[in-house]
Amino acid sequence: MPKELLIQVSPETAAHDSLIREHVAKLIRVSPNEIQHAVILKRSIDARQKAIKINLKLEIFFKGEPIAEQKIELPDYPNVSNKQAVIVVGAGPAGLFAALQLIELGLKPIVIERGKDVRGRRRDLKAINRDHTVDEDSNYCFGEGGAGTYSDGKLYTRSKKRGDVDRILRLLVGFGASTEILIEAHPHIGTNKLPKIIEDIREKIIERGGQVLFGTKLTDIVVKNNEVQGIVTQNGDTIEASKMILATGHSARDIFELLDRKNILIEAKPFALGVRAEHPQQLIDQIQYSCDFRGEFLPPAPYSIVKQVEGRGMYSFCMCPGGVIAPCATSPGEVVTNGWSPSKRDQVTANSGIVVELKLEDFKPYAKFGALAGMEFQKAIEQKAWHLAGETQRVPAQRMVDFAQSKVSADIPKTSYVPGTTSVELGQVFPGFLTQIMRQGFSEFGKSMRGYFTNEAILHAPESRTSSPVRIPRDNETLEHLQIKGLYPCGEGAGYAGGIISAAIDGEKCALKIAEALK
């Protein structure tokens, strides 16, 4: 019988199968020749002590035992060409995984996406970086695969439903992701590899009878007697269906405005907002690994930090080791930052959103906008940053210690943010209470991570799209909108997810509920 074992080894040992077998043999007091194979089931880093260790969960196969290869296969998706249609609005992770689940359940998804396919998006991303031109329908947030496709592809989640998480990860492997994502404690695909996987998911949806319509924007929802009848697109076309999954992402402001105009219930939701901080990756490695150089067997170090400052949480968000900062505006006249890493995480810089939790009371100056108050608060900061940085896609930037001391930085070195930066005192970008919390918070961060609080770190403003500023309320059991039958608010844009995995899980949940309702 194979034996499961938990061991802790050096990074070098963890990198070599032969050394792992030698270690296991010594641990269980057998000859190394008796161990045929050691399969790594889970891997994580323990950097709490000076001597860094790798935690491994292994399955040990002894000599003569058959090794059952774990082959991951996709579900046997039926052809749904002639089955009942369900509209899915948005081709991000929530929409795509909802579509796959609908097919598995024998329903036909009609996926509409305002943006372009993954290949078409690349030209528009080049335009925003090189020419400072923002396409409102094709950018880092909008287009096939959603925001995660070109802004990192992290696959870890705080979700407690591990079974659901494992199912999503296995589906991703089935569509071409490395099996490493099943092993790593913090799995990550990388922006260079995720697009091909997204393409393969789309091709499977179409192959099995679903539809995926790019360049197709929702402009109206047809509702009769508080029940969904279909949708209208920007070309005036009507698509009829009695069930609709709304999975438009956290930046689809026009959808929030549409719902508000139609008196379809939405609510203002707290979110978090701040800056994106960039350090040299080598400095983060030194802090986290307590060594001058991490060596060849350790990955670029991430960090996670949380502080309470004046009664509010200030914390790192979407930390990208070996990554870069990207321009993520979705309309002209605003600037927005986010971060991403390639699969190898081999860039010389590390960045992270450093954000402060907001409260509904912070949106009082925008109370006249009702449920859209938080969105208008967010928009005002993005537009002010655009104006202060020179009304291009350059962003306001400041050295970290200078920011804490309210001092304009005399110079800003070149950072990974390609459109460029403008030296600005960031206190001009944010409301006073937010500026005060961040100034104090960065000093507190430096006490926990010695060396973090430094003028080598450059702050880019703003990091404002952490989550949706709006919640679209739904019934906890049926997942239908509280007011409109057949409308299923889903994923990040509706306020029910926070990342690729949780959005995909929510998409599947909505599809399952639709299938139940149609029985």
What does the buried/exposed string (b/e) look like for 279-302 if buried means 16 or more CB atoms within 10 Å of the residue's CB?
bebbbbbbbbbeeeebeeebbbbb
Confidence grade of residue 148 (pLDDT, cut at 50, 70, 90): confident
Round the average pLDDT of the chain to a whole number and report it.
95
Query: Which whole-number Å values give the CA distances from 277 to 54, 250, 339, in the listed order?
Result: 28, 22, 10
CB 409 within 8 A of CB 422: no
pLDDT digits (tens, 9 = 90+) for 48-101: 888 899 999 999 999 989 887 778 999 999 999 999 999 999 999 999 999 999
Whether 276 is covered by a domain: the verdict is yes
Residue 369 has pLDDT above 50, yes or no: yes
Query: Considering the chain, what percentage of its residues have pLDDT values greater than 90?
Result: 88
Residues 256, 346 within the same domain: no
Residues 331, 377 within the same domain: yes
Q: Which of 158-167, 379-388, 462-471, 505-514 has the lowest mean pLDDT?
A: 158-167
Whether 476 is covered by a domain: the verdict is yes
Residues 458, 482 within the same domain: no
Residue 268 is predicted with a pLDDT of 97
Residue 151 has pLDDT above 70, yes or no: no
* Beta-carbon-side half-sphere exposure of residue 483 (alpha carbons within 13 Å): 12
CB 215 within 8 A of CB 91: no
| Residue owning tokens 């949806």 | 205
pLDDT digits (tens, 9 = 90+) for 387-431: 999 999 999 999 999 999 999 999 999 999 999 999 999 999 999
Pairing of strands 108-113, 85-89: parallel
Q: Which string of DSSP letters, residue by residue, matches 404-423?
A: HTT---S-----S-TT-EEE
Residues 368, 430 within the same domain: yes
Given strand 244-246, what is the order of strands in its sheet?
211-214, 108-113, 85-89, 244-246, 487-489
Cα–Cα distance between 508 and 167 in angstroms, integer? 10
Q: Which of 176-180, 429-433, 488-492 has the lowest mean pLDDT?
A: 176-180
> From the CB of residue 9, how many other CB atoms can be counted at a distance below 10 Å?
18
Q: Which residues lie across from 43 on neighbouring strands? A: 56, 184
Residues 238, 346 within the same domain: no
Whether 508 is covered by a domain: the verdict is yes
Confidence grade of residue 162 (pLDDT, cut at 50, 70, 90): very low
Residues 256, 379 within the same domain: no
Confidence grade of residue 188 (pLDDT, cut at 50, 70, 90): confident
Whether 80 is covered by a domain: the verdict is no
Number of domains in the chain: 3
Residue 425 is predicted with a pLDDT of 98
Q: Which residues lie across from 428 on neighbouring strands? A: none
Tokens of 225: 């007697």
The SS3 call for residue 18 is: helix
Whether 398 is covered by a domain: the verdict is yes
Query: Which residue, 361, 263, 352, 304, is CA-closest to 158?
Result: 304
SS3 of 72-99: CCCCCCCCCCCCCEEEEECCCHHHHHHH
Residues 110, 23 within the same domain: no
Residue 160 is predicted with a pLDDT of 55
Residues 421, 451 within the same domain: yes
Average pLDDT over residues 256-275: 98
One-letter amino acid identity for 398? Q
CATH number for position 129 = 3.50.50.60
Q: Which residues lie across from 230 on neighbouring strands? A: 222, 240
Full domain range(s) for residue 512: 85-265+472-518
The SS3 call for residue 334 is: coil
Whether 416 is covered by a domain: the verdict is yes
Residues 208, 344 within the same domain: no
Residue 163 has pLDDT above 60, yes or no: no
CATH number for position 28 = 3.30.70
Cα–Cα distance between 42 and 57 in angstroms, integer? 5
Confidence grade of residue 480 (pLDDT, cut at 50, 70, 90): very high
Average pLDDT over residues 20-42: 94
Residue 280 is predicted with a pLDDT of 98
Residues 431, 444 within the same domain: yes
Q: Which residues lie across from 89 on neighbouring strands? A: 112, 246
Angle, in degrees to the nearest 10, between helices 162-174 and 93-104: 90
Cα–Cα distance between 132 and 395 in angstroms, integer? 11
Count of all residues that appear for the chain in the document: 519
SS3 of 198-259: HHHHHHHHHHCCCEEEECCCEEEEEEECCEEEEEEECCCCEEECCCEEECCCCCCHHHHHHH
Residues 253, 278 within the same domain: no
N- to C-terminal Cα separation, the chain: 44
Whether 19 is covered by a domain: the verdict is yes
Whether 67 is covered by a domain: the verdict is no
Q: Which of 144-158, 238-252, 271-285, 413-427 has the lowest mean pLDDT?
A: 144-158
- Domain stops at, among 424, 446, 463: 463
Cα–Cα distance between 210 and 78 in angstroms, integer? 11
pLDDT digits (tens, 9 = 90+) for 324-356: 999 999 999 999 999 998 888 899 999 999 999
Residue 16 has pLDDT above 80, yes or no: yes
pLDDT digits (tens, 9 = 90+) for 217-230: 999 999 999 999 99
Residues 236, 352 within the same domain: no
Residue 36 has pLDDT above 70, yes or no: yes
Please tell me whether the peptide bond between 462 and the residue prior to it is cis, using omega within 30 degrees of 0: yes
